[in-house]
Structure formats: C-alpha cells, structure tokens
Structure 1
Amino acid sequence: MMTFLTLVFILIFINITMILTSLYNTNKSKSTSNKSLGDSSVSKIYPLDISTSDYKKAV
C-alpha cells in the first residue's frame, strides 16, 4: 500500500509540474504574440456574393 501511494504522489507531482510549465509557456507566448500583432497591417475582408454568382458548366 505504501508503494502504491508513493507512486501516486510522484505521478501527481509530475502532473502538476507539467501543467505549471505549460501554463507558464502559454502566458509567455501570448505576451510575445500580442506584440507582433500590433505591428501587422490590417487586411481587407470582402463579403461573399454567393446568391448572384454564375456557375459554369463543367467540361
């Protein structure tokens, strides 16, 4: 029973460290990506005109 609990606590500790590392890296990458978004130019978005489009017959 003691061996089982030891293994469970070790796995829980590893899981917590992996989660914290992942959260730290995610927050770090968000702060760098926000800086790069401010420098990029805004692209134009054109509306789709599906209702009036003509379809050509396939050859």
Structure 2
Amino acid sequence: MVTFVSILFGLIAINAILLVFSVNGANQKNRPTEKGISETPAEIYPIDLITSKYKKAV
C-alpha cells in the first residue's frame, strides 16, 4: 500500500511539474498580431442536408 501511494504521489508530482513548464512555454510563444491575420474572411459553405441521401435505420 505504501509503495502504491508513493508511486502515485511521484507521478502526480511529475505531472504537475510538466504542467507548469507547459503553461510557461505557452505564455512565452509569440502570438500572431492583427497584421498576420488575413483581412479577407474565409468562405463558409452551408450544409445542404435536404439533398443528402441517408439510409434509414431499421
């Protein structure tokens, strides 16, 4: 039982350390500015469900 709990706490500690490094690394990355974003909006195509042919479930 003691072995299980010690391994469990060890894994939780490693997980917490990796989470802290991950969050710190994400904050230091360069974020895209408004200049990097294209000004033309992407085209959005509507989903045409009426003409779609689905098989009926039995």
Q: TM-score band, normalised by the shorter chain?
A: 0.5 to 0.7
- Structure 1 runs of 4+ with >2 Å offset: 40-44
Question: Scaled by the length of structure 2, what TM-score is found?
Answer: 0.56
Higher helix share: 1
**Alpha carbon RMSD of aligned pairs, Å?**
2.6
CA offset digits 1:1-59 (Å, max 9, x no partner)? 11001000000000001111110001111xx225xx25x366442686xxxxxxxxxxx
Question: Scaled by the length of structure 1, what TM-score is found?
Answer: 0.55
Q: How far apart in 1 are the matches of 2:11 and 2:21?
A: 15
Given residue 2 of structure 1, which amino acid in structure 2 is its aligned partner? V
Structure 2 residue runs without a partner (length 5+): 44-58
| Percentage of matched positions with identical amino acids | 26
Which residue is equivalent to 1:6? Answer: 6
2:31 is the counterpart of 1:33? yes
